[in-house]
Amino acid sequence: MKERLLHPLSGTEAPISGPGEKLQKVLAQAGFGSRRMMEEWIAAGRVSVNGEPATLGMRVVEGDLVKADRRTIRVGEREHVARVLLYHKPEGEIVSRDDPEKRASVFDKLPKLRNGKWIAVGRLDFNTSGLLIFTTSGELANRLMHPRFEVEREYAVRVQGSMAEEQITRVLKDGVELEDGLVKFEKLQDEGGEGFNHWYRVMLKEGRNRVVRRTFDALGLPVSRLMRVRFGIISLPPRLKRGMTAELDAGKVAQVLDWAGIAPDGGELQQDLPVSAKIERAQAGRAGDHPAVVAGTVRGAGRAGGGKTSGVKSRNNVKR
């Protein structure tokens, strides 16, 4: 007799092992959302397999027809393999599929998918340019965006004026109080400038809405240009022009999945490790194991979840 356990959402019994893949894992890999969200969809009756209502703990095999949220996928099709796309967003585009003002959308520039959809990893506001990551893996998108994994974001910022020493100390040590909480930059590097404008390179581990702009505004230094140059171990390729995309090859996708704690087959490597444990692990010598990924360029960087970077300096085409 197969060993069974109680599912945490439904309280019903579910098999621990069996043929095929767990349904929620297949849906997450296909880009529907995180595994936890897919379990909630299944419990709510929003998923069917081969025309029958899906149940928690259900496994599917190659060829099964899965329907969820008015979309249908065939298990085992090549389109369900995780894909990662880099996009150099120009100013003047929104990161949304629906806009009442009918402005240009980043999704207009992406290659079409036969099944699944491109999931944007975080957002950049209308007037911000730089690196946007898209993936077909809901699990990977969740890992990169969830606050508890503390994934690094690095920006090139041009401000009107220049920072005083006490402002630099404040933003790095004490933090700047905004309406939605305290903000601290992990790193800040003076990049120089001419005239009234001054460039800085900043890094932080959160993605609150317009957090970089609002922080400099609070310091009395309005941002005149903002560009994201790195997200985690993925850097903006220097040769990727505005409005262009570049897809990572299978080897680099595997590298990103491993760094994010996801096995190539979609299994979990370290999902349950707390952030503090992963920081300790990185500081114990793992930081150099995962080089930064760009389309054709490799540099050192830390593991998702708090690993420190190893001197990443992606000098992109930012006009001084």
Q: Which residues are catalytic?
A: 125
**CB-neighbour burial class of residue 81 (10 A; exposed 0-12, middle 13-18, buried 19+):** middle
Q: Residue 234: which of 118, 127, 312, 139 has the closest Cα?
A: 312
User: What's the first-to-final CA gap in the chain, in angstroms?
Assistant: 69
Listed as own residue / partner, the contacts of 236-240 with beta carbons closer than 8 Å and 24 or more positions apart are 236/86, 236/88, 236/130, 236/131, 236/294, 236/314, 236/316, 237/86, 237/88, 237/294, 237/295, 237/296, 237/297, 238/294, 238/297, 238/314, 238/315, 238/316, 238/317, 239/295, 239/296, 240/86, 240/88, 240/295
> Hey, how many other C-beta atoms are within 10 angstroms of the C-beta on 109?
16
- Residue 252 and residue 170: Cα distance in Å, rounded? 38
Q: What is the CA radius of gyration of the chain?
A: 21
- Residue 61 and residue 86: Cα distance in Å, rounded? 31
- Residue 82 and residue 194: Cα distance in Å, rounded? 44
10 Rama class: left (phi>0) / alpha (psi -120 to 50) / beta: alpha
Q: Residue 27: which of 51, 65, 146 has the closest Cα?
A: 65
3-state secondary structure (DSSP) of residue 19: coil
Instruction: Name the residue type at position 242.
Output: R
